Amino acid sequence: MREPVILLAPMEGLLDFVLRDILTRLGGIDRCVSEFIRITDQLLPERVFTRIVPELYNGGRTFAGVPVRAQLLGSDPVCMAENAARLASLGPAGIDLNFGCPANIVNRHGGGAALLKEPETIYAIVRAVRRAVPAHMPVSAKMRLGYLDDSHAEQCALAISEGGADELVVHARTKAQGYRPPAYWERIADVRSAVSIPVVANGEIWNVEDARRCREVSGCNMLMIGRGAVADPGLGLAIKASSCNLPAGAVTWAQLLPLVSGFWDIVTTRLDSKAQAGRLKQWLNFLRRRFPEAETAYQSLKTIDNPALVQVWMDRELSRFDLALEAA
């Protein structure tokens, strides 16, 4: 098997610029997509784009040098195109269009996965955005298999392809299926057969074996990982190593703790104090699926909301880490 291309998924409220920065420091991620920028009925000021995608200040890349495509979500082709043009002028690594968000508050306003009921609108949005941005700038899209069912998956994919998108990510579940397993990777293979653009497989990739089976079933060499990478930051590296028949070399807690500390440094610098402890606990909650040490950390912090007390805990853990290194 060829080494796969690994994309880091956008996840509203979880996989934002903070985790993009931290996770791309480890390696194994070839490209990121930002969480969505909501487009309604106005041309957004530049500060909105840079707030959600601060990598725009760094040439559209994370500090580790990984390209970041900025994602737009909306249902009006003209307004989407106008905002895409402004966004393009800020220099992202590309523009992505969201046709997959399952959140009811988004779907009620005709955005995200709700558009999968309207392939003609999807086509109009993609076409308008493609025409509005420079030809050299990639335009991609992400979709689910459908809204209530997957009967129009190929039709929606064709609307995206024929609208001029350069690449398509398919989350292998419908809106109605949410995030419940399984993911229907075989339907991604059907979508691949229907379109001529590259297709990226997404959904329920938690480990190396999931990635292997997803590639075999979907036929895709490009994978997008989200919650799996949050729970196991070394997943991208392990997938790539496995594809080349190399030892996976799982990331250890000793390697991860300095990154957890770096995450906390960014959180305390960039986020509101009321949200800081919650963000750390949110990540630890994912990490404890993979690391027993994260379980211990989560239990120690789960009732603490004061950032100063979290900092005391962090300093203590780092001191233990340093002492362990010296002893070794």
Whether residues 48 and 189 share a domain: the answer is: yes
Q: Is the pLDDT of residue 326 over 60?
A: no
Domain presence at residue 321: yes
List the CATH number of the domain containing 12.
3.20.20.70
Report if residue 279 sits inside a domain.
Answer: yes
1 pLDDT more than 70: no
Tell me, yes or no, whether 31 lies in a domain. Answer: yes
**Same domain membership, residue 258 and residue 205:** no
Domain identity same for 17 and 145: yes
* Residue percentage of the chain with pLDDT more than 70: 97
What CA–CA distance (Å, rounded) separates 237 from 25?
11
Same domain membership, residue 269 and residue 123: no
288-316 burial string, b = 16+ CB within 10 Å, else e? Answer: bebbebbeebbeebeeeeebeebeeebee
The tens digit of pLDDT for each residue in 111-153 reads 999 999 999 999 999 999 999 999 999 999 999 999 999 999 9
Residue 328 has pLDDT above 60, yes or no: no
Q: Which residue segment(s) compose the domain that 289 sits in? A: 253-327
Domain count, the chain: 2
Q: Is 277 exposed, middle or buried (0-12, 13-18, 19+ CB in 10 A)?
A: buried
One domain, residues 69 and 179 = yes
Q: Region 105-116: what's the mean pLDDT?
A: 91
Longest dimension (CA), the chain: 65
Q: What is the mean pLDDT of residues 229-237?
A: 97
Q: Is pLDDT larger for residue 221 or for residue 1?
A: 221
* Rama region for 285: left / alpha / beta (φ>0; ψ in -120 to 50; rest): alpha
At residue 321, the pLDDT reads 78
Given a cut of 60, whether residue 284 has pLDDT beyond it is yes
- Over residues 177-189, the mean pLDDT reads 97
Q: Do 318 and 226 lie in a common domain? A: no
pLDDT score for 327: 55
In this structure, is residue 193 part of a structural domain? yes
- Residue 24 inside a domain? The answer is yes
In a domain, 175, yes or no: yes
Shared domain check, 291 and 232: no
What is the structure's pLDDT at 245?
75
What's the CATH code of the domain at 267?
1.20.225
Q: Does the structure show a pLDDT above 70 at 192?
A: yes
Three-state SS for 93? coil
Average pLDDT over the chain, rounded to whole?
Answer: 95
**10-43: pLDDT as tens digits:** 998 899 999 999 999 999 999 999 999 999 999 9
In this structure, are 214 and 279 located in the same domain?
Answer: no
Domain boundary among 243, 273, 301: 243
Q: What is the pLDDT of residue 310?
A: 97
Average pLDDT over residues 206-235: 97
- What is the average pLDDT across 203-231? 97
| % of the chain at pLDDT higher than 90 | 89
Q: Tell whether the model's pLDDT for residue 212 goes beyond 80.
A: yes
Residue 13: what pLDDT? 87
Q: What is the pLDDT of residue 39?
A: 97
User: Has residue 49 been placed in a domain?
Assistant: yes
Same domain assignment for residues 178 and 197? yes
Residues 166 and 238 in one domain: yes
Same domain, 213 and 117: yes
User: 248: pLDDT confidence band, cut at 50, 70 and 90?
Assistant: low
At residue 110, the pLDDT reads 87
Distance of CA 312 to the CA centre of its chain: 31
Domain end among 174, 208, 243 = 243
The reported pTM is: 0.94
Q: What is the pLDDT of residues 37-70, one digit of tens each?
A: 999 999 999 999 999 999 999 999 999 999 999 9
Within a domain: residue 248? no
Roughly what angle, to the nearest 10 degrees, separates helices 292-301 and 253-270?
A: 40
Q: Supply the residues annotated as catalytic.
A: 101
Per-residue model confidence (pLDDT) at position 244: 80
Domain boundary among 243, 268, 294: 243
| Same domain assignment for residues 232 and 262 | no
